[in-house]
Amino acid sequence: MLLQGARSAGLSSTQAQTLLALSAADHPLKAGQLAEEFGSSAATISEVLNALERKTLIERRHGREDRRQVYVSLTEQGRKLASRLVGWDGLMERAVGELPVGDREVLFRSVVHLLASLERNDLIHARACPTCVHFTADASAAPDHGHFCALTQRKLTDLEMRLDCPDFAMRS
């Protein structure tokens, strides 16, 4: 759905993801933050931002104190398009919600482990619990045990593991 929406709006998937990342932020993001978010080079993200700027979906501003810093935000047109693109996750949520609870748990565990594997192989940057320095996986099958996050000092069930944690720190 996201890819379809992106194509119909004349965007690449990376351009659409950039709009969504900017939409989710409550403040302008540095171009370097976007490059890091997507595991891209500065040159690649610059090309993406150039295309979005030509389409008048974003605007860039230099930092006041450090003119080398470039801050990126959505234009009104960019906000409108991003809100249309966001709708795809509601469809996915409804589809997953129709699955029996046990199947949802299996699906979620599988997705978490898939993302962690892709992250360990440096193919994506998902910031998922299993690859985080703060995370300890539960090796037992006992129901009273659980995974543990040292940052939050909480036990976690499989369904509480994060796929995109803002406090993520990659395990070496």
Q: Are residues 17 and 72 in the same domain?
A: yes
Query: Residue 171 falls within a domain, yes or no?
Result: no
Q: Are residues 23 and 52 in the same domain?
A: yes
Q: What is the pLDDT of residue 35?
A: 87
Provide, rounded to the nearest whole percent, the portion of the chain with pLDDT above 70: 91
pLDDT digits (tens, 9 = 90+) for 131-160: 889 998 886 655 566 788 898 888 888 778
What does pTM read for this prediction? Answer: 0.59
In Å, what is the CA distance from 172 to each residue of 131, 162, 165? 9, 19, 17
Q: Are residues 60 and 129 in the same domain?
A: no
Instruction: Give residue 2's pLDDT band: very low, low, confident or very high (50, 70, 90).
Output: low
Query: Residue 128 falls within a domain, yes or no?
Result: yes
Residue tagged 């939409």 (tokens): 23
Q: CA-CA distance, 78 to 90, in Å (whole number)? A: 20
Q: What is the pLDDT of residue 89?
A: 59
- CB-based contact 167:151 (threshold 8 Å): yes
Residue 70, domain extent: 2-88
Of the ranges 18-32, 118-132, 135-149, which is most confident?
18-32
138 or 70, greater pLDDT: 70
